[in-house]
Chains A and B, each alone.
Chain A
Amino acid sequence: DQQVKQNSPSLSVQEGRISILNCDYTNSMFDYFLWYKKYPAEGPTFLISISSIKDKNEDGRFTVFLNKSAKHLSLHIVPSQPGDSAVYFCAASASGANSKLTFGKGITLSVRP
């Protein structure tokens, strides 16, 4: 049973436009959400996170929105740049020091010049 779902395996956008990457979750105990970015031949790197007490968190070109009632979050990248082309993983966890991260399957973003 997949608790974190990234239903679209890939997304292609034009440079300068907005990229919207979606993520759904099923576990109502999740209260912390993160996005990781992964380039080929490298490990995932942390991008941005959001706590369930917020509905939006912004960091430069990256904004994450959380809709708790819909159990849905999205990552917006504005404007998209070719260097943003990578695999993006959504991850979630429940409160507690022992809590593990549950990852989605990832979305491959391609930004066309």
Chain B
Amino acid sequence: EAQVTQNPRYLITVTGKKLTVTCSQNMNHEYMSWYRQDPGLGLRQIYYSMNVEVTDKGDVPEGYKVSRKEKRNFPLILESPSPNQTSLYFCASRWRGTDYEQYFGPGTRLTVT
């Protein structure tokens, strides 16, 4: 089954404790990205990657890091989480080219206290 998976689905952590949210896709997509969803703000892109070892900032990259060492994986790293990073996070992937349909993961609900 074609899918994007994220782990963990729910995470409660404390300020400053480094964490990683994993994302994996099995569709051989080149393009992957991370979004956060906040009430009244919709979906905002954090980082994206066009292919292995190619990453770039989205609209709200501050406080986040990513890496793309393998085509299927695109982890999101919060080196020192803060309460304003409490949010719902989605990973997504798609093919490059004119087909812009993105496939989203199920989401990770992160709470930073």
Contacts and interface: CB of A to CB of B under 8 A. Distances in A.
Q: Which of the listed residues B58, B100, B101 has the most CB atoms from chain A within 10 Å of its own CB?
A: B100
B105 A49 contact: no
A43 B100 contact: no
Given A41-B107, A42-B107, A43-B106, A103 B100 contact: no
A44 B45 CA distance: 14
Contacts of A106: 42-43
Contacts of B102: 46, 101
A43 B90 contact: yes
B100 A44 contact: no
Contacts of A42: 106-107
Interface string A52-93: 000000000000000000000000000000000000010001
Contacts of B48: 100
Contacts of A46: 101-103
B59 to A, nearest CB: 8
Contacts of A49: 100-101
Q: Which of the listed residues A43, A44, A49 has the most CB atoms from chain B within 10 Å of its own CB?
A: A43
Interface string B1-23: 00010000000000000000000
Interface in A19-43: 32, 34, 36, 41-43
**Chain A binding site: helix, strand, loop or mixed by DSSP?**
loop
A12 interface: no
A98 B40 contact: no
A100 B40 contact: no
A93 B42 contact: no
Contacts of A104: 42
Contacts of B44: 103
Given A101-B100, A105-B42, 10 more contacts: A32-B98, A43-B4, A43-B105, A44-B43, A89-B42, A89-B43, A95-B98, A97-B97, A103-B43, A105-B41
12 contacts: A34-B101, A36-B104, A41-B106, A43-B104, A43-B107, A44-B104, A97-B31, A98-B50, A100-B33, A101-B100, A103-B44, A106-B43
